[in-house]
Copies of this chain bind each other. A is one copy, B any other.
């Protein structure tokens, strides 16, 4: 094999992997958006078979030979190729430790588990979902044992979604949350409360859909390459490459702001993915590098930009144009305060910016407790409700609004939640850097995202997965991650909103 042949081979293997990812991603997307209800088992079979084929590719002799050969000639490789090889090698070594039949069975299990979760949530019936969730937790535990026998399982899972993330860092971060955010919530609770009843109304799907498309264009998404679907629990996915991106939302008939901020949140994910440098398409470097950096973008657009009084002053008149009947008696100030209302509540995705981290903290504690054997899966509903009482002071009326609310666990994403909180905090630190060269809030007043997006593209998006997460964030921060920026951002913003 010559270097040139090996490079060609490296390229073509990654293209093949991208095609399998495309197929599997589309099966997932279809299942979550438009597939008829009774088709999950059928889809699970295909998902399992394709995951087996993709596993064989990612751990096959062709790939190993190519990667091994190229890694002996680092001087001939570009930085991108070196990183590709490192990722492929890490993945194959990890995957190889998992027996292929277990890998395929897990992939099939997830399709069923997602489908059962969907129904269980609708019926608020945890017992129905419990056996599947047990299997998911058990499989994650077993897989972590295969791949990282020396680590605590939760550490292995955290690292999977966020290279380099540890419980030590999470613990430190959440200690800060307890110290700075809990008192802030208390002070807000003592202040004059915001009435958000001005958001109540009757918002037909078709009106919400038109507004969603407008929002997507406003924040700078290219609708020729980014589609919008509807689903139970909004998510974003790339199909094949960053040239085909799908975001999803959920239209609540009585509250339009839920979909509005979902669209901006998922839009942030999509901006990040589609901002990858064109040459990264069809390689393992395409799209966002990690879950926390991904969430740093989605939550940055949703909250720091999307819920800023400046952007709201731009969007409110437009919004009133899309929903003329419903918002006729509402003022901009009422609207701005209503969508920034802080209120300990039941649903994470609907939570305000301030209490949000506590929802994550609860999941972080529960995931560890289950994996460490301190809590049984069947006892999760009770434990969940107890922690909501403890941290948020709210009573969970049913599992639909409790332990069944998120799709993550049913999809095998154990250890994913902390990245939401960390991402939020990264975003605040990115903002401080961005403001050094971009008049962020002035642009938002004008509804102009070009300079904001350019900055993100230059500093974050274009790299795809070329840099490791910490390497990327620290190079942008110009130093280590400092949660302080996040805590002070929240304090500053909400003291103003609550006039305290």
Contact = CB atoms under 8 A, between A and B. Distances in A.
A39 B282 contact: no
A46 B30 contact: no
Interface residues of A, number: 41
A220 interface: no
A361 to B, nearest CB: 37
Contacts of A229: 34
Contacts of A224: 36-39
Interface stretch (A14-22, A168-176, A186-194, A413-421): A14-22
Nearest to A204: B206
A458 to B, nearest CB: 23
A79 interface: no
Interface in A14-51: 15-16, 18-20, 22-23, 26-27, 29-30, 33-39, 41-43, 45-46, 49-50
A227 interface: yes
Given A22-B27, A226-B36, A227-B35, A15 B45 contact: yes
A36 B240 contact: no
A227 B16 CA distance: 30
16 contacts: A15-B45, A15-B49, A16-B53, A19-B46, A22-B27, A34-B227, A36-B223, A36-B226, A36-B244, A38-B224, A38-B225, A39-B225, A39-B227, A39-B239, A39-B243, A42-B241
Given A34-B227, A42-B244, A46-B240, 11 more contacts: A18-B46, A23-B46, A33-B34, A35-B227, A36-B224, A36-B225, A37-B223, A37-B224, A38-B243, A39-B225, A43-B239
Going nearest first, the 5 A-B pairs with the smallest beta carbon separation are: A38-B224, A23-B23, A19-B49, A39-B244, A22-B46
Interface of A: 15-16, 18-20, 22-23, 26-27, 29-30, 33-39, 41-43, 45-46, 49-50, 53, 205-206, 222-227, 229, 239-241, 243-244, 282
